[in-house]
Structures are given as C-alpha cells and as structure tokens.
Structure 1
Amino acid sequence: MINHQEKQGYDSDQVNQASDMRLPHGLNTDGEDLPYHTNADGYVVPDVTYKDPKNRRIRVVTIGGGFSDLLKHVIYEKNGDVGGAWLEKRYPNCACDVPSHSYVYPFAPNPEWPEFYSKSDAIWSYLDRVTKVFDLRKYMKFNHRVSQAIWDDVEGLWRLKVEKVFKDGSVDEFDTTCDVLLQAAGLLNNPILPKIPGYATFKGKVIHTAQWPSDFGQEQWKGRKVVVVGAGASAVQTVPGMQPHVDELHVFVRSKTWLVSAAADFATL
C-alpha cells in the first residue's frame, strides 16, 4: 500500500543555499581557466536561482509513459494509459523476472505483491496506483506520439512534432517546444519479426509476444497447431501456458538457452 506520507521532498532552504554555491573552475582544451558553466565557444549557462518567481518555468517533455517515466513532468504516451510494456504485454504467464520487491520506485514500496515474481497485470496495477497516489495523470497526454524532435541551437530548445491519435484513427499533428527532452520510450514494445521465406503469404495468425492481442486468449488458441520461434524469456513463460490447451505445439530454437536457479530458491536456504 502506497502512503501519501511517504512522499518526500527536498528542504527548500537547503536547495536555495546550494544554488548560491559557486562551482570550482576547470580548464578548457586550450588551458584557459573557465567556470564549468562556460565553454570555449562562448556558450554560457546563466546562473538561475531555484524557485525565483522572476524566472520562467522550464518546460520538460518526456516521450513514453512506462515504468521509467512516472518520475517526470509532461509525458507524451502513445498508448491510452500508463504502463508501457506492462500495458501491452498480455501473452500467457507474462511476468517479470526481477523479484517484485526490487521492482518498485524507492519512494513507493509495495508490501502487497501477490507473488515473488509478479505477473504483468499486478505490475500494471502497481504503476496505475502510483500515478493515482502521486497525482501524476495531470502531467500525461495519452494517445500522443512524438514523431520528430529537432534541437534548435539558436534558441536553445527542442522543437517537437506530436501526433494526437483519436479513437476513429484520425490524427492531429501539432508543434511544441521544450527546454528538456527525456527519451524514455523503452525498447521492449518495438519488436522485429524474423524475415522467414513465405511469411508474407502465410494464412495463419502471426503474433509477437511484445504485441499480444488482448482478444486472443485460451479460447481462441484452443485446439490449434502452434509454432513458437525462439526460447527466450517470453517463450519460457508462454509455452507452459499454451501447451495444455493446443492440439500441437512445436518450439524451434536456434541456439542454447541457459537457465539458472531463481532468486527465490536461494531465499529459502
């Protein structure tokens, strides 16, 4: 259970005091003595006092709304909700291979994990609860995809093109800018399908575990002939979930997969 009282911040007096401290000097490539906020090309980072009402607010944009992004500010998320890969991954027995109590934000522990290695729905529920407790959804723009990001060296800011996708599939593109751009889109939901001869003309159903359809469950694959390509982590989880319910299941493995004892085994010693 996440408690509002667990939210912690920095002491504003300490931050303001720290902002008044001068950084030590360093040397540029020519041996010239320069402060760290100045470079040899003449670019200067101005001194800014923290929380000074005379200063404009810095606009921060984050691309992605998964696990790594819930600490940020304004977030453009291409999906319709938070979670990133844990929203999209719905293959049989989908779970995280990191012990659940380690797979949390340090400011939001969760003593109510249902399993040592929790399933994807439990992880998504945790992320959803974090966004609610810390009131983060007000910073999030769902169904928004950043299609272009170009740094403007003259103005010293990022120029973005963002696509807002509506339920009917129509797209509205608009331009925006930001001072800080955080790339946190992740790598686990952008699969590359193998280039197998005959793939384009195959009449059956082709699915990648990273993009498992929400409407393809046990009833849909019951009695089918299934081929699994690969023996990685998702295959190790998917095969036992499908095997009891299909007519035939074949796994094709290109190279060896090494399995070691789970952390839970050591915890019982």
Structure 2
Amino acid sequence: MDQKVALVTGAGSGIGRATAHKLARNGATVVVADLDLEAAEATVNEIVASGGAAVAQRCDVTDPQDVAELFARIEEDFDGLDYAVNNAGICTEVASIADYKLPLMRKMMAVNVSAVFNCLQHEVRSMRRKGSGAIVNLSSIFGQVSGPGYAGYTATKHAVEGLTKSVALENAEYGIRVNCVRPSVVQTPLMTGKDVHVEPGSDEWAAYEDANPSKRAAQPEEIAAGIAWLLSDEASFVSGGGINLDGAYLAR
C-alpha cells in the first residue's frame, strides 16, 4: 500500500483504530476521522511513533457539511483517495421493537446508514477520478441474521449490505471494488462502553462469547486484518459481497 491514501472513519477507537494501524503498517498514509478529535489524534500519534504516516480530522459522519470538508481536505492534501473504510457505527440500545425509542432508532439510522451513503458518494467520486479504488463497509453478523432485541441494529446492517452490493455494481467498470465485513462479537467500546455496555468477565459477556462457536470474542486486530486484505491487490477480483469475520457464527 505504499504511496496510497486510506480513509478510516471512526478510527479513534476499536476496529477503526486497529485498521488505521494495520493500513499504516502496510505503507498507506491514513486519514484518521472521528467525531472525537482527541481520540483521532491519539491514533495518529501512535501511528507516527511507530514510523507510519497519518493525519487526524474531526468529522461527524452524520453531518453532510462535515463530510464534504473531510473530502475537500483529502482532495487538496492528497489528490484523492485510494482506500476507504466506512467503520463508524453505533448500537443505541438492545430492546424489543415494542419498547424501542424512536429517537434512538433515528440516530442509529443516521450513523449506520445515511452517513455511510454520504461517505460512499464522496469516495466514489474521488476514486473515479483516480481510475481505481477499494472500499470496505462495516456490516455485522446482523447484516445476515438477527436476534431478539436487535431489530433496529439489524435493519441498519442489512441496509449496509444492500448499499455494498449496489455501489459495487455501479462502479465495477471504473475499477472500484466495494465489499463489507461481518464481525460477530468484538471486544471494542461498542460492546464494552456506553453503547451496549457489557463488561468483559461478566455473566452477560460470557453469554455473548458462549453463543459463538469459537467461544470467544474477536480482537479488533483480527477484524482489521480481514479489512486490509479486502482493500489489498490480493483481493483484486473480490467485489460486491462480504466476508464473515465471526468465528463460524454464520456457518450454522
């Protein structure tokens, strides 16, 4: 990935941070975008300290103006984009659809779907100008199946799968590949922080791990490895689908 430019959204923590590190180790210059500028800068500082190249940009992916400014900087500073990872996402709550709070559902749709749509528009325009590119969207096992209490989250990830297929079809002739990844439980702030808030070592965490055939959660670096492969030339004929990074969860 030498001399290539990669964008990772939500790269201040979790899978996004691990992916930014992985792409930088592979030689890319990484644009680290996150709503939390301090977190983005922390990721950049780690990458630079390890000998890589990265820049931080605060971006609220739900704000079209913020996204436009992000891509204006990419065009001005780097003359376009080679890789993009639409990683930013949330799970606002786990609840029966009868009890689900509509404002939280709207927020999740804004982050997990509308923001991905908006970023894809800019990414495709940039990559068409360059004549090639690769994009990975973050789906989930819930892009294929679901579970009680996850109707809202499932709807957003099914939408990401649809976007992935459609955008891949539209842009294959331009040399742009679009795929998604489907993690199961990953030990990130999405699970352990304010979103779902399941503590590692708790009975609830053990139940999540036990539900997976591999009997453990993934680490962010394991997901990042799959993303990096999909972006790389080694996956040069892979487009319009996704890979399961789920410890055999979806094989049942």
| TM-score of Structure 1 vs Structure 2, range by shorter chain | under 0.3
Q: TM-score normalised to the size of structure 2?
A: 0.26
Q: Which has the larger radius of gyration?
A: 1
